[in-house]
């Protein structure tokens, strides 16, 4: 080794020892080389982490535009063609610098007046060989320090925050900045059947597909392999690897990627993807970094998820307790059911549909009572019911929940309504089944712990509340009904007449009253006895309910007398209804045959005073009685 070579070698070593950044190291090498080669200037290129392209990063003298009209990667091609430690391009000198057999930097000298040659060629090769080793060592040292610092910084983020999303987002962003790759995390579902997206850097979360743990052609299979083998899987060239999701990678320009399993206590919880848009060669140091990062992320995901689940469980329980308390303060069954379904839908963030079905009075069918869902449309153009036998054939008990077979009659109904999956829980009151609460999910949905917890909690507590409300409502209904005929009683008439007549007065809309009396009822009692008399009253009450229109109300006014309230009905319309009632009862095939007399009065045609209208209807009835009975008389 001659003195010049020794001086250059010692100088390069001092530069190596006294610089802490790669660009500073290369900048000083360019300056020395420019002098030694009597060059017009020099520059250096470094690989961009994101693109994998060589980009000019510094230099002196002539610019690249006036020096070498080639891109960084075209310069690499020139060097590869030459096959030496350095290459010529016209009067320019090109020196590639390698790390792990991949060009990571390039030094260029423009218009070198004294290029190495002759006896200097061997010395130049030795100097450049040393420069390459120094650069690779410097790169490796700095990357170790960078990775180490990144792991410490990520660890601090993890220990200083208890926000799950913030920890994962910050950690993955920091990892992406250090490595140049785009990081994503997918977590295993509880049943370990699917990987679902939890975080993605630079790619929309919604574009990630759920990945089944049973390998399927066309979808990514490296995750299955990584979890099964408990080790990282590398795809260096996507187009040539059948394990990659070609369509997804093509869409986002992914050329290489790493799949790192996330393991906690020897149990897989998910995978971490690291994607590159160029053909990336993963180094052992990178793999070690991602392994350590995966270990940290696995621990924090498990810890924070457990904390979140506990907090969420308490939150759900508090909301459910509040919901049950509100339900107990409501005495109208429809309000109780609507409130339960609405609050359940809101509690589950409107991600699933909710429906409640009650057992009918004969206890052999379930009837749709109410539902709510943005994408589920259980249209109730008519009563929707299914037999308990159909329910038994459709529902499969799975982890204490009823999962509906989509091929069953009920399953097909749900499917037509937009629900691909339906899961239910029985509503029990003691040992009695009183109904079913269903959750309905859309295509691709995976049932969550939150949904199962909500469903089971409501199933346990809602049944007794619904039964109690049914009982209260039944008592209220019974208090309004006549014990014999089951039509409304005189007491309820007074309240209804007061409320409805006031509404009609305020709106100035007509209403009519029909006073109906069974003809010769005393003779029927005297001849046949009171038991037959009671049967006659019940038969007339039933005929009145069958003959009147929807919205009309039938009241037992006293003894054999009934009163009918006909909302929004004119005098002419009321007379038509009354005549239809009279004819129907007279021609009814019952024994003994009976007839009725009917008095009609209308607001405001007969009077603008509702109480006077009632008196006029009563007077019209007595006039019908005096006129021979079995007729209809209207008040003047």
Model confidence pLDDT, tens digit, residues 52-84: 888 888 887 654 445 567 777 777 777 777 667
Better pLDDT: 585 or 122:
585
Q: What pLDDT is attached to residue 568?
A: 92
Model confidence pLDDT, tens digit, residues 140-185: 888 888 888 888 888 887 777 767 777 788 888 888 888 888 888 8
> Which of 477, 500, 515 lies at the terminal end of a domain, its last residue?
477
pLDDT (average), residues 314-337: 76
Based on the structure, what is the number of domains in the chain? 4
* Terminal Cα-to-Cα distance of the chain (whole angstroms): 136
Query: Do both 470 and 497 map to the same domain?
Result: no
Better pLDDT: 198 or 335:
335
- Cα→Cα distances 615→103, 516, 599, Å: 107, 13, 10
Is residue 580 predicted with pLDDT exceeding 90?
Answer: yes
Query: Do both 461 and 511 map to the same domain?
Result: no
Q: Residue 431 falls within a domain, yes or no?
A: yes
Query: Do both 335 and 448 map to the same domain?
Result: yes
DSSP label of 488: B
Among 440-444, 562-566, 606-610, whose mean pLDDT is lowest?
440-444
Which residues constitute the domain of residue 8? 3-142
Mean pLDDT over each residue of the chain, to the nearest integer = 83
By percentage, how much of the chain surpasses pLDDT 90? 24
Is residue 215 predicted with pLDDT exceeding 70?
Answer: no
Query: Do both 342 and 367 map to the same domain?
Result: yes
Query: Do both 335 and 261 map to the same domain?
Result: no
Query: Do both 334 and 471 map to the same domain?
Result: yes
Q: Residue 322 falls within a domain, yes or no?
A: no
Query: Do both 407 and 294 map to the same domain?
Result: no
> Which of 446, 477, 508 lies at the terminal end of a domain, its last residue?
477
Query: Do both 343 and 380 map to the same domain?
Result: yes
CATH, residue 32 = 3.30.450
Query: What Rg do the C-alpha atoms of the chain give, in angstroms?
Result: 44
pLDDT band at 24 (very low <50, low <70, confident <90, very high): confident
Query: Do both 134 and 171 map to the same domain?
Result: no
Angle between helices 571-586 and 530-547 (to 10 degrees): 140
Helix (H) or strand (E) holding 517: strand 511-518
Query: Do both 469 and 334 map to the same domain?
Result: yes
Better pLDDT: 433 or 536:
536
Is residue 1 predicted with pLDDT exceeding 90?
Answer: no
Is residue 408 predicted with pLDDT exceeding 50?
Answer: yes
Q: Residue 193 falls within a domain, yes or no?
A: yes
Query: Do both 420 and 531 map to the same domain?
Result: no
Q: Residue 154 falls within a domain, yes or no?
A: no
Is residue 228 predicted with pLDDT exceeding 90?
Answer: no
b/e per residue, 396-405, with b = 16+ CB within 10 A? eeeeebbbbe
Query: Do both 412 and 451 map to the same domain?
Result: yes
Alpha-carbon gap, residue 403 to 457, rounded angstroms: 17
Looking at mean pLDDT, say which of 166-180, 257-271, 611-625 comes out highest.
Answer: 611-625
Q: What pLDDT is attached to residue 64?
A: 47
**Helices and strands: H and E segment counts in the chain:** 18, 23
Q: Residue 156 falls within a domain, yes or no?
A: no
pLDDT (average), residues 288-307: 79
CATH, residue 568 = 3.30.70.270
C-alpha closest to that of 556 among 567, 542, 569, 568? 542
CATH, residue 170 = 3.30.450.40
Q: Residue 150 falls within a domain, yes or no?
A: no
Q: Residue 420 falls within a domain, yes or no?
A: yes
Q: Residue 324 falls within a domain, yes or no?
A: no
Is residue 476 predicted with pLDDT exceeding 90?
Answer: no
């Amino acid at each position: 080794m001659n003195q010049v070579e020794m001086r250059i070698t010692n100088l390069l070593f001092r530069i190596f020892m006294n610089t802490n950044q790669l660009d500073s190291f290369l900048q000083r090498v360019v300056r020395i080389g420019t002098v030694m080669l009597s060059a017009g200037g020099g520059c250096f290129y470094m690989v961009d982490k994101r693109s994998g392209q060589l980009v000019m990063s510094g230099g002196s003298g002539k610019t690249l535009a006036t020096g070498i009209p080639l891109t960084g990667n075209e310069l690499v091609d020139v060097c590869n063609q030459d096959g030496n430690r350095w290459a010529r391009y016209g009067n320019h000198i090109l020196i590639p610098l390698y790390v792990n057999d991949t060009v990571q930097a390039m030094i260029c000298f423009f218009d070198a007046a004294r290029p190495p040659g002759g006896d200097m060629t061997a010395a130049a090769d030795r100097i450049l060989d040393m420069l390459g080793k120094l650069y690779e060592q410097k790169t490796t040292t700095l990357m170790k320090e960078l990775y180490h610092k990144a792991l410490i910084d990520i660890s601090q983020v993890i220990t200083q925050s208890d926000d799950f999303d913030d920890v994962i987002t910050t950690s993955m962003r920091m990892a992406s900045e250090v490595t140049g790759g785009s990081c994503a995390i997918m977590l295993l579902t509880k049943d370990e059947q699917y990987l679902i997206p939890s975080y993605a850097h630079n790619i929309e979360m919604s574009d990630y597909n759920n990945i089944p743990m049973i390998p399927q052609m066309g979808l990514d299979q490296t995750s299955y392999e990584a979890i099964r083998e408990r080790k990282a899987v590398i795809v260096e060239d996507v187009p040539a690897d059948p394990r990659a999701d070609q369509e997804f990678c093509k869409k986002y320009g992914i050329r290489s990627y790493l799949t790192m399993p996330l393991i906690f206590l020897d149990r897989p919880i998910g995978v971490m993807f690291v994607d590159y848009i160029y053909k990336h060669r993963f180094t052992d140091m990178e793999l070690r970094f991602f392994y350590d990062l995966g270990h940290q992320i696995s621990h924090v995901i498990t810890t924070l998820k457990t904390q979140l689940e506990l907090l969420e469980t308490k939150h759900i329980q508090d909301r459910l307790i509040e919901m049950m308390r509100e339900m107990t303060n409501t005495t109208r069954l429809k309000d109780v059911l609507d409130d339960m379904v609405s609050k359940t839908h809101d509690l589950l963030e409107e991600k699933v549909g909710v429906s409640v079905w009650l057992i009918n009075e004969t206890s052999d069918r379930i009837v749709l009572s109410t539902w709510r869902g943005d994408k589920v449309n259980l249209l109730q153009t008519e009563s929707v019911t299914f037999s308990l036998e159909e329910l038994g054939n459709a529902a499969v008990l799975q982890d204490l929940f009823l999962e509906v077979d989509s091929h069953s009659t009920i399953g097909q109904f749900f499917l037509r309504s937009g629900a691909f999956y339906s899961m239910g829980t029985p509503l029990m009151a003691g040992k009695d089944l009183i109904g079913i609460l269903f959750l309905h999910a859309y295509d691709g949905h995976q049932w969550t712990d939150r949904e199962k917890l909500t469903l089971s909690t409501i199933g346990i507590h809602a049944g007794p509340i619904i039964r109690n409300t049914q009982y209260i409502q039944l008592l209220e209904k019974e208090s309004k009904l006549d014990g014999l005929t089951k039509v409304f009683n005189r007491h309820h008439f007074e309240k209804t007449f007061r409320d409805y007549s006031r509404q009609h007065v305020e709106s100035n809309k007509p209403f009519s009253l029909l006073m109906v009396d069974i003809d010769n009822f005393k003779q029927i009692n005297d001849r046949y006895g009171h038991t037959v008399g009671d049967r006659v009253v019940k038969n007339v009450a039933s005929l009145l309910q069958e003959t009147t229109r929807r919205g009309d109300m039938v009241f037992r006014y006293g003894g054999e007398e009934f009163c009918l309230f006909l909302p929004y009905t004119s005098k002419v319309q009321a007379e038509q209804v009354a005549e239809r009632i009279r004819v129907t009862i007279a021609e009814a095939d019952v024994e003994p045959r009976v007839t009725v007399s009917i008095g009609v009065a209308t607001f405001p045609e007969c009077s603008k005073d509702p109480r006077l209208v009632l008196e006029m209807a009563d007077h019209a009835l007595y006039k019908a009685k005096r006129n021979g009975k079995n007729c209809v008389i209207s008040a003047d």
